[in-house]
Structure 1
Amino acid sequence: MSTRPPELIRARPVPRPSLWVAAAIVLVLVAMLVHGLLTNENYRWDVVGQYLFDPRVLSGVGWTLILTVAAMLLGIIMAVLTAVMRMGTNPVLRGVAWVYIWFFRGTPVYTQLVFWGLIGVLYPRLSLGIPFGPEFFVFNTYDVINATVAAILGLGLNEGAYLSEIVRSGLNSVDKGQWEASTALGMKRSTTLRRIIIPQAMRVIVPPTGNETISMLKTTSLVLAVPFSLELQFVTNAIGNKEFLPLPLLIVAGIWYLFITSILMVGQARLEAYYGKGFDDESPSKPAKGMSKRQQAILAAGTVKADPNLEVTP
């Protein structure tokens, strides 16, 4: 009887020539694109380099970031308020939240920005006082709602209507047992929401909110409807029209938008990883503390998941 050990089986990957053909086609197309970008003189890369760090362009980048941050802050505040109102038991507050979401989601953001830009035509002055009675404070509308405020209001209120549904879906994703347990412990509804529900809902809320932030960065280009003439797209268009070089200045704006968007995407990924702890990194093969060797062997075999309620035998 032969005692020679059996020969080892050498596994070989299945050949997939179609993948290599697809990769070659993609590489050829990329090479053609790069060649066109570098050799086509109509792109005027010298003009792009000249205006990429122009003080006017940098100022436009700064104002674009200011509008994005301010509008998103207003949108988040409105979204949390309306989401909580819609989840409440007061029918009046639920109706108000529904009408707000219905109106601002049902009309284009450009139309809303035009409206805020013309608010002084409808209401030349604003006042605080008693309805049908004396007025205590009177303001000129355009002294209070200037172009910057109008742009932030138009963008923020519109964004709040969309974020409200995102926040509401995130809050609804938390198990209702969390509410019941906190109520049984005597916690107030506001405390439960702030310390238990919202932290757990952030795992669902953060990804679409990050997408909305990136979208808001580009939506700021519509504030010319107010009109607001300091943001990036308006500034680059003005320079391009003045120099009769619209295409190179569009490329300048595109480069800055891509740069800022890339930073926001990295930040979004970090936030998703932070709030996803305990959900995405669960390893069923990791033994729970206090488990017996038998239970660890069963867990390693992948037949059951770790259960802290398993009976531990010495």
Structure 2
Amino acid sequence: MSSSSSSSSTPSVLLNTGVQMPILGFGTYKLVGPGDVFQAVDAALVAGYRAFDSAAVYRNEADVGRALKELLPNHGLTREDVFITSKLGPKDQGERAMEGALHSLSQLDLGYIDLYLIHWPGTQGLVVADQHNPGNRAQSWASLEQLHAQGKLRAIGVSNYTPAHMRELMQSCKIPPALLQVEFHPQLGQTELRSVCEEYGVCFQAYSSLGKGELLTDPVVTEVAKNCECTTAQVLLRWAVQQGVPVLPKSSNPDRIKDNAKIFDFKLSDTDMDKLSAMDCGHKYCWDPSQVV
């Protein structure tokens, strides 16, 4: 992994678009209201985060965009120094995808979006078994491809797709997805999805690295943290990045934001890595896309 730019020492991963993406990103889920967003984004920039992850359904795109526009100059940074991800809401899946993506662009108001994802393989208002889901996904992807060709979305990808959804997309797309973002932590190793991504040259990115906080008190994680003299959150994040998997920790607490960024100055031993990986039991803490046709 090479360092992305002189402005940040955070390691990065190379996307299939030829662009470097920081391996550490800041998640903004549940950050609502200009005050909270501003404080968290400021703390993240101070801590060295250069990637920020939002979504239409988070209802904070406008606040995130505004905070960055105001804060970047204060930190001696420009728009080009940060990597912004957002996502198409399930309510806009299908014929409203173009409108939904353009809405995200105007809400963020940062000129372009570095990475834009289809947030969910299903469609809001349709049951998971509805046969319209595949067609809606294909239509959304075609709209994203169009905006990618125009340079408005620098890279496009998907979130919460299963191996079957990924294979379907790879068969029909003109532009392959740059990235797949899914739940990933020691209890959910996602072996099949990771090999599908490897096969197709798609970057595999983790969300919910801490298992919605549940894994912070897990005895195995606690023991590893004690041996490494670091926090359980740092152990869980390090476990992913040490495998080359980008992470998106989220917090509104400035101290935690700072701590979560300190995952590049220590290494987990092979034994610790194996101990953590052995926790895999297929457990999902978040939504389960496996039933969506």
Q: Same fold (TM over 0.5)?
A: no
Q: Which of structures 1 and 2 has the bigger CA Rg? A: 1
**Structure with greater strand percent:** 2
Which TM-score applies when normalising by structure 2?
0.24
**Structure with greater helix percent:** 1
